[in-house]
């Protein structure tokens, strides 16, 4: 098929940037979306033009590195990662608009590449259990009801791609933050630091400049891993009970 691509080009973080149109032809329906961009880039390189920069790595939907706001939706029309989106989801002759994630906390580095280190800093604020290597109890000394383990697992499948932020009209990172807070709040291993974790991670989330949640549900609807909104409710509970009962004045 033949397509028109309207792609955001921006030389670097300080550049203003703008859209540019490209044509690609003979695109196979079996190509992944990123392979289609590979074709475009080979074409651009042949002409001596700078290829379109975009983030990607595993190309199997798990590393969370790929992004792209495609035709008005993060990761495109399906609820999956861009690398798992295939061209059969598009029609011949279609114009596809490709934009970077848009958020203050995700500055554009070049073209479609954004900096998501704000997510790392949220985790650094408390998204862990403070155990050193060695000296831990036997794994089976911590029994965990299967239902709890499964629910914690569901929260833990977050790939940190940032689609939740990209989808949210407020560029809020609550789904991401709540997934980690939830996972550890549900598990016995997370109890010791439970209150402190909630307070610190949320403070960091705010400091990064993400917006607030207005419960539109867009994040969960677009999340490639289907992380549930119940995590946000749980985070809210965790936070409120932490601020009223913790001893951090």
Partner 1 sequence: MILDSKIPDGPLAEKWTKHKFNVKLVNPANKRKYEVIVVGTGLAGASAAASLAELGYNVKAFCFQDSPRRAHSIAAQGGINAAKNYQNDGDSVYRLFYDTIKGGDYRAREANVYRLAEVSVNIIDQCVAQGVPFAREYGGLLANRSFGGAQVSRTFYARGQTGQQLLLGAYSALSRQVANGKVKLYPRTELMDVVTVDGKARGIITRNLITGAVESHSAHAVLLCTGGYGNVFFLSTNAMGSNVTAAWRAHKKGALMANPCYTQIHPTCIPVSGDHQSKLTLMSESLRNDGRVWVPATVEIAEKLRKGQISPNDIKEEDRDYYLERKYPSFGNLVPRDVASRNAKYVCDEGRGVNETGEAVFLDFRDAIRRDGEDTIRAKYGNLFDMYQQITGDNPYQLPMMIYPAVHYTMGGLWVDYNLMTNIPGLYALGEANFSDHGANRLGASALMQGLADGYFVIPYTIGDYLAQSGYDKIESDHPEFKKSEKEVKDRIAKLLSIKGEKTVDHFHKRLGKIMWDYCGMARTAEGLTKAKAMIKELKKEFWTNVKVLGDNEELNQSLEKAHRVADFIELGELMVDDALHRNESCGGHFREEYQTPEGEALRDDENFAYVAAWKYSGEGQEEELVKEPLIFENVKLTQRSYK
Partner 2 sequence: MSWVTKTFNSTLGQKLLMALTGLFLILFLVVHLAGNLQLLLPDEGESFNIYAESMASNPLIRVVSIGNFAFILIHVIYSVVLTRSNKKARPVNYAVSKASTNSTWASRNMGILGTVILLFLIIHLRGFWYEFKFGELPTAVYDGVTYKNVFAIVSEAYSNIAYVIVYVVAMGFLGFHLSHGFASAFQTLGLNHVKYSPLIQKVGAGFAIIIPALFALIPIVMYIQTL
- What is the contact surface with partner 2 in residues (CB under 8 A)? 6, 19, 69, 71-73, 97, 99, 102-105, 167, 169-172, 202-203, 205-206, 209-218, 221-222, 229-230, 232-240, 243, 248-249
Q: Which of 19, 92, 104, 136 binds partner 1 (CB under 8 A)?
A: 136
- The minimum distance between CB 174 and partner 1, in angstroms, equals 19
CA distance 193 to 43: 53
Nearest to 215 by CA among 232, 203, 199: 232
Tell me whether residue 8 or residue 119 sits nearer to partner 1 (CB atom).
119
| The pair of three-digit structure tokens given for residue 81, joined into one six-digit string | 């990662």
Question: Is 182 in contact with 234 (CB distance < 8 Å)?
Answer: yes
- The minimum distance between CB 203 and partner 1, in angstroms, equals 13
Which one of 68-76, 107-115, 163-171, 231-239 is the stretch in contact with partner 1 (CB under 8 A)?
107-115
- The minimum distance between CB 69 and partner 1, in angstroms, equals 17
- The minimum distance between CB 237 and partner 1, in angstroms, equals 19
201 touches, from partner 1, partner 2, none (C-beta below 5 to 8 Å by class): none
What number of other Cβ atoms are within 10 A of residue 156's Cβ? 16
Q: Which residues are paired to 96 by β-bridges? A: 5
Check binding of 192 to partner 1 (CB under 8 A): no
Check binding of 19 to partner 1 (CB under 8 A): no
DSSP string, 206-224: HHTT-B------HHHHH-T
Please count the residues of this chain forming the interface with partner 1, following the rule CB under 8 A: 79
End-to-end CA distance of the chain: 62
Question: Is 135 in contact with 179 (CB distance < 8 Å)?
Answer: no
The phi and psi torsions of 136 (rounded to 5 degrees) equal -100, 160
Tell me whether residue 214 or residue 226 sits nearer to partner 1 (CB atom).
226
């Amino acid at each position: 098929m033949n397509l028109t691509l309207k792609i955001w080009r921006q030389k670097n973080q300080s550049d203003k940037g703008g859209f540019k149109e490209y044509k690609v032809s003979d695109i196979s329906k079996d190509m992944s979306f990123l392979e289609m961009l590979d074709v475009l880039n080979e074409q651009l390189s042949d002409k001596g033009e700078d290829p379109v920069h975009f983030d990607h790595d595993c190309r199997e939907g798990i590393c969370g590195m790929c992004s792209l706001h495609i035709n008005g939706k993060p990761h495109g029309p399906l609820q999956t990662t861009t690398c798992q989106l295939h061209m059969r989801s598009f029609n011949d002759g279609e114009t596809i608009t490709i934009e970077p994630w848009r958020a203050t906390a995700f500055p554009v580095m070049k073209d479609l590449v954004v900096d998501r280190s704000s997510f790392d800093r949220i985790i650094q604020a408390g998204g862990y259990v403070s155990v050193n290597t060695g000296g831990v109890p036997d794994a089976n000394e911590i029994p965990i009801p299967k239902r709890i383990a499964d629910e914690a697992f569901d929260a833990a499948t977050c790939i940190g791609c940032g689609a939740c932020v990209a989808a949210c009209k407020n560029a809020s990172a609550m789904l991401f933050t709540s997934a980690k807070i939830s996972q550890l709040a549900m598990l016995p291993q997370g109890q010791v630091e439970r209150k402190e974790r909630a307070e610190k991670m949320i403070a960091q989330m705010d400091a990064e400049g993400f917006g607030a949640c207005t419960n539109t549900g867009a994040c969960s609807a677009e999340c490639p891993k289907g992380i549930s909104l119940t995590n946000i409710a749980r985070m809210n509970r965790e936070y409120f009970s932490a601020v009223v009962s913790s001893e951090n004045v």
